[in-house]
Amino acid sequence: MSNYHQLLNQLSDLNLTCIKEILPAHLDEVAKNEQSLVDSLFELTHQEISYRRKETQRKILKRAMFPYHKRLHDFNFDFQPKIKKSEIQDLVTLRFLDTYDNLLFIGNSGVGKTHLAVSIGLECIDRGQSCLFITSTELVNRLIRAHKRGTSDTMLKKYASYSVLIIDEVG
**77: closest CA among 51, 115, 118?**
115
Establish how many alpha carbons lie within 13 A of residue 87's alpha carbon, considering only the half-sphere containing its beta carbon.
9
The C-alpha R_g of the chain, in whole angstroms, comes to 23
CATH H-level superfamily of 72-168? P-loop containing nucleotide triphosphate hydrolases (3.40.50.300)
SS3 166: strand
Q: Are 113 and 105 in contact (CB under 8 A)?
A: yes
131-135 and 164-168 as β-strands: parallel, antiparallel, unpaired?
Answer: parallel
| CA gap 131, 117 in Å, rounded | 11
| CA gap 109, 58 in Å, rounded | 30
pLDDT of residue 171: 67
Q: Could you list the mean pLDDT of each consecutive 10-residue stretch along the chain, which spans 171 residues?
A: 91 94 91 88 95 91 93 90 90 91 86 93 91 94 95 93 90 67
CB-based contacts of 142: which residues, under 8 Å, 6+ apart?
134, 155
List every span in the chain annotated with CATH 3.40.50.300: 72-168
pLDDT of residue 106: 86
By the 10 Å C-beta count (0-12 exposed, 13-18 middle, 19+ buried), 119 is classed as: buried
